[in-house]
A and B are shown apart, each in its own frame.
Chain A
Amino acid sequence: MIKESSIEQFKQIVGKDNVLTSKESLKSYSYDGTTSWIHEPDVVLFPTSTQEISAIMKIANAEKIPVTPRGGGTNVSGGSVPIEGGIVMCFTKMNKIIKIDKENLTATVEPGVVLMDLNMALAREGLFFPPDPQSFLGATMGGIIAENAGGPACVKYGVTKQYILGLEVVLANGDVVNLGGRTLKNVVGYDLMHIFISSEGTLGIISRAELKLNPLPKAKKTIMAVYADVAVAGESVYRVLENGVIPDKIEFLDNWVINRIEEMMPMGLPKDADAVLLFECDGIPESVEKEVEQIVEITKKHGAIDVRVAKDQAEADRYWLARRAGFAAVFGKAATVLAEDVTVPRNKMPDLIRKCKEVAKKYNLEITVLGHAGDGNLHPSILTDINNKEAYDRALKGLDEIIEATVELGGVLSGEHGIGLEKQKFFRRVIDPNVTNLMKGIKQLVDPNNIMNPGKIW
């Protein structure tokens, strides 16, 4: 419990309207986008400046109150769930786009800016922020950076860490540090900035960020390739890339997902297909046309049974809407969903998909696969029910095998969601203890009282 006097101090810092303590409010900050992680904070604070964050941190550090930073709460790792109570520091009201610098292709933002709002403002200037986590309608920049988020466009553009030039960070003791800068090149001492990217809020609070931007591509085209065999689809991905075509997105839907989407909103996906790949090419119009031709040719050559090029933006939008609906399709069909985020080297994807199918058979499970095929990042989801012990145990065993297979194939536990609470137990199993100890050492140095988002990652 937090002392009444601390709560009073918080009210003086952020104003009483920005301090929530009612039972109803605490409940509504007890969850994120996961199904099973719930824990209430003792207080929710809405700072709107670096000074306010710093003042709060000084009190929290002195009183050893846990602080869990939170933005839109769209994350799917349990990362923003205040598992040890204390303060939820919510940034949804600290959401100004401070500057868009067209000449340098950069933007300066506060942590609570929602990615969609940012990209709408950038589009007016002919710019965009390329990393595209699919929670862009609610995800905030602070969280996107702290989780090092990525999305479909990673194939061509990479993930968040490649688009951060500088960060202002408030440390656990309230000190404010500026890391990185505003330049593309920067080799001045240790690259400390990147330790905070993907730190999942365990090291400090990102209070401002300097982003690298790209000009908006002039043209975009979408291609849908249909396959009778999931593994053949997996092969098409690296065949396209090895032939020198880099689409900005290559997304993958399996038969189960295709059919659920068609039930929810019929949009003409081939229901009998074993798998579908969605490609998007972007760039200058002439090169997009050329790339589309090549993709059609290569996918046909390597086993696609049908290849459709979207005639217009409306048709393309339909396909991408279907892709985005994929997760909803999965979550709407089971009481509990174990949604994984495993990532393997691209050419191992057919092996991983085959493994998922085997596991489904072996443990009598419903396992669906969708994901960002272009970068080997798949989201196998096991449909189960946490209240049915026997079924849930089978699901956990199946999950174990998928994770083990991923590591054997040279892959990693999480491509973009982060560890948080959801993947802790696998983290412990697969990460070299020496590496974990290095991480813990850094944590001890930066946050000796362990108040920053405690209980996460390891």
Chain B
Amino acid sequence: MDNLKELSKIQQYAAQCMKCGFCSFFCPVYQEERTETSVARGKNYLVREILAGRQEFTKEMADIIGKCLLCKRCVVNCPSKTQIDRVVVGARAEMVNKKGLGFIKDFAFRKVMADRKKFGRYVKLAQKFQWMLPKTEGKIRHLPDFIKGLGKRNIPEIADRFLRDMVKEVNKPQDGKAPVMKIGFFSGCAMDFVAPETGLKIIDFLTKKGVEVVYPQDQNCCGAAIYFSGDFETGRKLAEENIKAFEKFDYVVTGCGTCSSTLKDYAKYLSENEDQQKRYDAFAKKVKDLTEFVVDVMKINLEELKLKKEFEGKTATWHDPCHLVRYQNIKDQPRAILKALKGLKFAEMPNADMCCGMGGSFSVYHYDLTKKIADKKMAGIKATNADIVVTACPGCIINLQDNVIRSKMPQKVYHFLELVE
């Protein structure tokens, strides 16, 4: 046990499973593969076997632990409340301790993503060469078959200019009056590199409502892909940088559901001592997803929100990002916003809270599964006859847009604030 530092921390959670197997019904991966190692009960059992000294950290074990979307559907439906997300992430962290990250992740997480400036330079470099990829439509390009690892998919174009290069550090309320509130805006990587216009839109919206929005240039990646893959060391480095960057703000607001949940969860996964725990907890309290910030903190009169002309008469459906609906229990706020927009029709899709299949780096390694899981999402969208799909996580937007195009469906996917005038 002494040499299983991360696993010993999650032992209590692993012990909770009573092997009823109900998780199989809720697991998107099991629903496709239908094997025991796909599902929470199987993964959890194998982690217990490691803890008991009867199982090694084999390559297959790494694959099994890797093949989880961390969508938490099993967790919220578990009769004995087993926190399988903590078990899976803890096992990944132990795996990293024992076996290292592997060349690709090591390079991506530690050499690139953890260094804000370098990350930007690499993405810039990629941006310069993306003309080589054929365009599908508008700002979507598809990766041709020769990039075998990623399969054939439609990815958004990297923006010409990043948000960080376009945005002022301090953005005063537009009415020139004293700010009603002062917040730190956390963009997240996707809004920085791929969808800076959404970031600008959020800042514009908030400053119109009398909020002073500060964009600290020394903010870093939230760390989701990094610490959910088990790289706690780099995760901590990012946590410390972000906490420092937002030190002087009462609220840290982000328009990315995954970022908001990841920032809130530093305390849950990364703290190693009481001091860290305290600081991470305090930071978590300041973090607000844009949906909850608008509805619960600013308490904006939603009736006053105006729908953009181009969406007049359209029907919208809402996709619940896992990181909002299950990680933060945010489901009513975005619906309230959509339903309040006059001129927009709202249609609930039957499987709104089902994972879209993205799961961050999951979709890089298991794109075939991602597509199958997304197929079910697409069927749900189709059933609503909606014109547009609305959500609040750039990761979901990228994946949903890819699959809408792949399924030859007419819908476009939007961040909810893009609908607001």
Residues of A within 8 A of B (CB): 20, 22-25, 27-29, 31-35, 46, 72-74, 90, 92-93, 95, 112, 114, 116, 135, 137-138, 264, 324-325, 327-328, 331-332
* A138 and B81 within 8 A (CB): no
B20: interface (CB < 8 Å): yes
* A325 and B20 within 8 A (CB): no
Known contacts being A24-B37, A27-B55, A73-B36, is A332 close to B18, with CB within 8 Å? Answer: yes
Contact of A32 among B19, B60, B81 (CB under 8 A): B19
* A27 and B49 within 8 A (CB): yes
* A25 and B37 within 8 A (CB): yes
On chain B, the number of residues with a Cβ less than 8 Å from chain A's Cβ atoms is: 27
* B18 and A24 within 8 A (CB): no
Nearest 8 A-B pairs (CB), nearest first?
A: A328-B79, A331-B18, A137-B25, A28-B36, A138-B21, A28-B42, A92-B34, A328-B80
In the assembled complex, which residues on chain A have CB atoms less than 8 Å from the CB atom of B70?
Answer: none
Binary contact readout B9-30 vs A (1 if CB under 8 angstroms, 0 otherwise): 0000000101111111110000
Closest CB in chain A relative to B397 CB, distance in Å = 30
* B80 and A332 within 8 A (CB): yes
Contact of A33 among B20, B35, B37 (CB under 8 A): B20
In the assembled complex, which residues on chain A have CB atoms less than 8 Å from the CB atom of B16?
Answer: 332
Contact of B21 among A35, A72, A95 (CB under 8 A): A72
In the assembled complex, which residues on chain A have CB atoms less than 8 Å from the CB atom of B20?
Answer: 33, 74, 135, 138, 327-328
State in angstroms the CA–CA spacing of A90 and B24 once bound together. 14
CB-defined A-B contacts under 8 Å, sample of 12: A24-B37, A24-B61, A27-B46, A27-B49, A28-B42, A31-B19, A73-B36, A93-B34, A135-B21, A135-B22, A137-B26, A328-B78
In the assembled complex, which residues on chain B have CB atoms less than 8 Å from the CB atom of A116?
Answer: 25
Closest CB in chain B relative to A106 CB, distance in Å = 25
* B24 and A72 within 8 A (CB): yes
State in angstroms the CA–CA spacing of A324 and B36 once bound together. 23
**DSSP majority for the A interface?**
loop
In the assembled complex, which residues on chain A have CB atoms less than 8 Å from the CB atom of B24?
Answer: 72, 114, 137-138
In the assembled complex, which residues on chain B have CB atoms less than 8 Å from the CB atom of A73?
Answer: 21, 36
Q: Which B residues between 339 and 394 are near A, CB-CB below 8 angstroms?
A: none
Binary contact readout B60-104 vs A (1 if CB under 8 angstroms, 0 otherwise): 110010000000000000111100000000000000000000000
* B45 and A28 within 8 A (CB): yes
In the assembled complex, which residues on chain B have CB atoms less than 8 Å from the CB atom of A327?
Answer: 18, 20, 79
In the assembled complex, which residues on chain B have CB atoms less than 8 Å from the CB atom of A22?
Answer: 60
In the assembled complex, which residues on chain B have CB atoms less than 8 Å from the CB atom of A20?
Answer: 35
With CB as the reference atom, state the residue of chain B lying closest to A95: B34
State in angstroms the CA–CA spacing of A327 and B19 once bound together. 12
In the assembled complex, which residues on chain B have CB atoms less than 8 Å from the CB atom of A32?
Answer: 19
Closest CB in chain B relative to A415 CB, distance in Å = 18
Closest CB in chain B relative to A113 CB, distance in Å = 12
In the assembled complex, which residues on chain A have CB atoms less than 8 Å from the CB atom of B55?
Answer: 23-24, 27
In the assembled complex, which residues on chain B have CB atoms less than 8 Å from the CB atom of A28?
Answer: 35-37, 42, 45-46
Known contacts being A31-B19, A33-B20, is A138 close to B60, with CB within 8 Å? Answer: no
In the assembled complex, which residues on chain B have CB atoms less than 8 Å from the CB atom of A331?
Answer: 18, 80
State in angstroms the CA–CA spacing of A72 and B34 once bound together. 9
* B25 and A24 within 8 A (CB): no
B58: interface (CB < 8 Å): yes
In the assembled complex, which residues on chain A have CB atoms less than 8 Å from the CB atom of B18?
Answer: 33, 35, 327-328, 331-332
With CB as the reference atom, state the residue of chain A lying closest to B64: A24
